[in-house]
Amino acid sequence: MTILVPVFGDQLSLNISSLRGQDKRRSVVLLVEVHQEALYVKHHKAKLVYIFSAMRHHAELLRSEGWDVDYVTLDDPENSGSFTGELARAIERHSPHQICATEAGEWRVKEMLVSWQDRFDVPVTLRSDDRFLASHSEFEAWAKGRKQLRMEFFYRDMRRKSGLLMDGNEPVGGQWNFDIENRKRANRDNTIPRPLHFPPDKITREVMELVETYFGDHIGSTKSFGFAVTRGDALNQQAHFLNHALAHFGDYQDAMLSDEPFLWHSILSPYINSGLIDPIELCKQVERCYRNGNVPINAAEGFIRQIIGWREYVRGIYWMAGPDYVRRNELGATRSLPDFYWTGQTDMHCLSQAIGQTLEHAYAHHIQRLMITGNFALLIGANPQEVHEWYLAVYADAYEWVELPNTLGMSQFADGGMLASKPYAASGAYINRMSDYCRACRYEVKSKTGPDACPFNALYWDFIGRNEEKLRSNPRMAMPYKNWDRMSPEDQSALRRQARKFVETLG
């Protein structure tokens, strides 16, 4: 009597619910590399290397723990190319009396798992993914009856539930959120830590060759690949962050510097989202750093908020909104992304920096994603589905459940405010305030019109003007529209002409 346990590339944890309590002598763990997963968007080469290598290393860890592992590589001549096809072949090999899997992380995978119930003459058991604080039903109960689903109030409930940074019933430090202290501009006098770089081992080098062979036309490069691909190395990066970067993470989490892709960020999101690192245990360690006096409250709270606040919140939004969420387009945006999103070749320095490091590392931090690449796409009216597919493809930590709400909801405001209280649109002034990008740019950040004016300035006011009917009534947009109303009709027209002229150059 055999139980077949399929494990996906975002479930690389020894403690995943599908494995818990299983008899190792009667279980077979199935991991497969399939073209279907690599091609539903054209994922960054480094992202594919990370996922496939982490899967292969996880299989070795499972074997060392006494599990019987059936692993199908991408280049297996018998590989059917789909997970369902490989499950069918595994059923033939092992004749299981039951299939046990942890619930899917994405709608398309859920549909596949549900289809197994009818397709195969084997009972299928689906277990909840308890790596999260809030179950689907808990989030829906929290959201029920609320006119606005604001993360801040959900986050407070998660603090209470987890006990993280709590003194009894009250938040440590007397307030829930220290974000106001987390907006400092960085400079090169600071001692900037560097994340650990993990040289590819034999398994990873084999995967790199595989990816170049099968996916050579995909975006990005593997030349700088240095992600951890084992739980042990992921924990080494976690310790490195806690010891060398966390103390200043809060102060500079929104800062940007030229040729500094990592700053004080943790670089842990790929490992959290794939399962190598337990997010709640990580948060407990961050709290311990604060209580031991090693880091200030704004750093600890800011980091924990990203995990048990924002990460849990966007998962709840994703599943509650349903599979049609991806098609929302509240602002009616239809423009294609410019070619430089795939090349990084643009004379706008901020975009060349954010996209360039994305192509090299499959990584950019949240402000670069939201306020540089996302902000620009929003201002030009880029199709939100196309923007979503770009973000899903290029970042190593991007899985649809976490990426889609961040992109379509927060970055592009395509859900009309279900997730974000206002569009995250900004002119060049914000970029200049939070970075040194403007110093090296050929455009003048303080100019609004003319051949040398920063494109973000006219694009911002054009965005305000063309979306007036849908945005003016938003209370958080009152100030932009008050400033817009102060302008003369001639100035408004000049800004919108400048924006149209620039957009025409994008093709």
Residues 239-277 pLDDT 10s: 999 999 999 999 999 999 999 999 999 999 999 999 999
Q: Is position 298 within any domain?
A: yes
In this structure, the answer to whether residues 170 and 94 fall within a common structural domain is: no
Q: Is residue 223 part of a domain?
A: no
Same domain, 476 and 369: yes
Task: Give the number of other Cβ atoms within 10 Å of residue 20's Cβ.
Answer: 12
Domain-terminating residue out of 287, 321, 355 = 321
Pair (289, 152) in one structural domain: yes
Which of 93, 127, 161 delimits the end of a domain?
A: 127
Q: How many CB atoms lie under 10 A from the CB of residue 149?
A: 19
Task: Yes or no: say if 407 and 388 are a contact pair by the CB < 8 Å rule.
Answer: yes
Question: Does one domain contain both 158 and 278?
Answer: yes
Residue 202 lies in a domain: no
State which residues form the domain around 277.
136-195+245-321
Burial class (CB within 10 angstroms; exposed 0-12, middle 13-18, buried 19+) of 174:
exposed
**Domain stop point among 99, 127, 155:** 127
CB 28 within 8 A of CB 68: yes
Rounded Cα distance between 200 and 224, Å, is 10
CATH number (domain holding residue 57): 3.40.50.620
Kind of pairing between the strands at 170-171 and 166-167 = antiparallel
Two structure tokens written together for 134: 């809030």
Residue 249 located in a structural domain: yes
Same domain, 154 and 52: no
Strand partners, 101: 126
Side-chain-side CA neighbours of 200 within 13 Å: the count stands at 17
Tokens 């603090």 locate to 159
Residue 231 resides in a domain: no
Q: Do residues 140 and 121 both lie within one domain?
A: no
Q: Are residues 115 and 140 in the same domain?
A: no
- Report if residue 205 sits inside a domain: no
**Pick from 80, 82, 79, 119: nearest CA to 99:** 119
Q: pTM value?
A: 0.96
Residues of the chain where predicted confidence (pLDDT) is lower than 70? none
Q: What is the pLDDT of residue 196?
A: 98
Please give the pLDDT value at position 53: 98
The pLDDT, as a whole number, for residue 360 is: 96
pLDDT of residue 185: 87
The reply to whether 226 falls in a domain is no
**Residue 225 counted as domain residue:** no
Tell me, yes or no, whether 278 and 191 share the same domain. Answer: yes
pLDDT at 20: 97
Distance of CA 195 to the CA centre of its chain: 18
* β-strand pairing of 124-127 with 98-102: parallel
Residues 372 and 308 in one domain: no
Contact 278, 132 (CB under 8 A): no
Q: Mind listing the pLDDT tens digit for each residue in 35-55?
A: 999 999 999 999 999 999 999
Strands (E), 2-78: 3-6, 27-32, 68-72
CATH code of the domain containing 281: 1.25.40.80
Cβ neighbours of residue 324 closer than 8 Å, sequence gap 6 or more: none
State whether 116 and 155 are in the same domain.
Answer: no
Structurally, the chain folds into a number of domains equal to 3
What CATH number did the domain enclosing 448 receive? 1.10.579.10
Query: Which of 341, 335, 315 is CA-nearest to residue 378?
Result: 335
- The predicted pLDDT at position 488 comes to 97
Q: Are residues 263 and 355 in the same domain?
A: no
Look at residue 1 in the predicted model and tell me its pLDDT: 80
Q: 416 and 284, same structural domain?
A: no
